[in-house]
């Protein structure tokens, strides 16, 4: 294994860890029908992960590219949750404040 392959594996493992850390947020949002991540955060993350993905492709880091694609998918799911559940989250917050 050369240094380039080792770097690819290390970056891929780090991306898997970052993706795994966000999965509970996606699942909890789906279960509770809420959007807990601001849209700008999700879209910003998708954009910059895409920039990193392009860099990985240009440097032939294929494991890293595959893992960053998964990471982009997870953050895209959070952005989609924002559109699906934002009105529910806002309505729930308003009704909770009125109940108090």
What is the predicted pLDDT for the residue at 41?
A: 93
Number of domains in the chain: 1
Mean predicted lDDT score pLDDT of the chain: 88
Q: Is residue 82 part of a domain?
A: yes
Torsion of CA 62, 65, 66, 69, to 10 degrees: -170
92 found inside a domain: yes
Which residues of the chain carry a pLDDT beneath 50? none
In a domain, 88, yes or no: yes
Question: Domain range for residue 81?
Answer: 38-100
| 52: in domain | yes
Query: Is 23 contained in some domain?
Result: no
Is 58 a member of any domain? yes
pTM of the model: 0.80
pLDDT computed for residue 13 by the predictor: 95
Q: What is the pLDDT of residue 35?
A: 81
DSSP assignment of the chain equals --HHHHHHHHHHHHHHHHHHHHHHHHHHHHHHT---S-HHHHHHHHHHHHHHHHHHHHTT-HHHHHHHHHHHHHHHHHHHHHHHHHHHHHHHHHHHHHH-
Longest dimension (CA), the chain: 63
Q: What is the pLDDT of residue 48?
A: 97
């Amino acid at each position: 294994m050369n240094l380039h392959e080792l770097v690819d594996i290390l970056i891929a493992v780090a991306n898997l860890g970052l993706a795994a850390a966000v999965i509970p947020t996606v699942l909890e949002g789906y279960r509770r029908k809420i959007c807990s991540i601001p849209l700008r955060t999700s879209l910003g993350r998708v954009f910059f992960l895409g920039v990193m993905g392009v860099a990985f492709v240009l440097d032939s880091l294929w494991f890293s590219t595959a893992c960053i694609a998964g990471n982009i998918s997870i953050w895209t799911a959070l952005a989609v949750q924002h559109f699906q559940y934002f009105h529910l989250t806002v309505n729930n917050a308003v009704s909770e404040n009125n109940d108090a």
